Amino acid sequence: MDIQACYRLLEIPETASDEDLAKSYKRLALKFHPDRNPHRVEWATRAMASLNDAYTSLKGHRFSNGRPEGPDTVTPEERPQSGRPSRRADGPDPREELKDDLLVRQFVRHREAAKDALYRYFQYSLHNLVRRENPINRGIFKEVTGVLRRNYHAIRKLSGLTADHELLDHFAVFSEMVFNFYRASECLNIPDSYANLVDVEAFRLYKKGDDALHLAHRELFYDRHNRGFLKRDISGAMILKAIYHFRDALEHYSQSTWAVETTIKLEYALSLKRYIELFFTEDAA
């Protein structure tokens, strides 16, 4: 959806804060929800789907395209120099190897900072939207997403400094997972009485997928750190279960008000699956 159209639909200016964005979404969601419009359910369902699309599009746009907050996290001494790799007839240029070694060190630092933020997300149960409304927890959630955003942008910068396919794969998979986690964490669809049977069934499948997804990423980013090792079979099985339910919901109830959130959660589950496959082949991440 066009970004300017998103702002118009949510009735806020581009300068609105994230808090104002969420407030406007909730206000309009209560107005357009199909259960609040029993005499024009089809219209309300389309309006709610557009509202959900606008909200999630803006949140994703602000995260990935906005200027990162805070100072540059790469120090001048550690910053690799870009430019065309020099060629050597007798083998790899040691300067390129040194540059890639610096990139790996930087990536590990940004990756660990992001994982620490994900740990705090589960430590304070910020997946619970009601709990997140607590003023203290709102501040913690803002700090968590700020850390994720800064390190996401830092890793994206590193991608422009190497031609090494293995490094680029790691940078892309991890940053994609962080981005999709953020989008999934911002899904705020508001359940109502659900007189609409399509929404009832769509939510039932969405909830099954979301519960399985929660177990999977909690295991990855919280439980395994407290325990000291990863139960990969559990996390892998839960991710596959989540993917199955999300796809099932989209196949049978693509016109429900839950379609946008279901799509976002499916994209996150798929990126989480790629993250495990790449980073945990030797249980090394």
The model's pTM is 0.82
* CB burial of residue 239 (10 Å; 0-12, 13-18, 19+): buried
User: Chain centroid to CA 74: how far?
Assistant: 23
pLDDT at residue 41, rounded to an integer: 80
- In this predicted structure, the answer to whether residue 284 has a pLDDT above a threshold of 80 is no
How confident is the model over 90-146, as pLDDT tens digits? 555 545 555 788 999 999 999 999 999 999 999 999 999 888 889 999 999 999 999
CATH node for 1-66: 1.10.287.110
Q: In whole angstroms, what is the distance from residue 181 CA to residue 261 CA?
A: 12
Q: In whole angstroms, what is the distance from residue 60 CA to residue 57 CA?
A: 5
pLDDT at residue 98, rounded to an integer: 57
Neighbours of 136 (CB within 10 A): 8
Average pLDDT over residues 180-189: 88
Q: What is the DSSP string of 102-149?
A: HHHHHHHHHHHHHHHHHHHHHHTTTTSHHHHTSHHHHHHHHHHHHHHH
* CB burial of residue 15 (10 Å; 0-12, 13-18, 19+): exposed
Identify which of 31-35, 47-51, 201-205, 268-272 has the greatest average pLDDT.
Answer: 268-272
The mean predicted confidence, pLDDT, of the chain is 85
Confidence of residue 67 (pLDDT cuts 50, 70, 90): very low
pLDDT at residue 76, rounded to an integer: 41
How confident is the model over 197-228, as pLDDT tens digits? 888 899 999 999 999 999 999 999 999 999 99
Whole-angstrom CA distances from 220 to 30, 116, 119 are 35, 12, 9
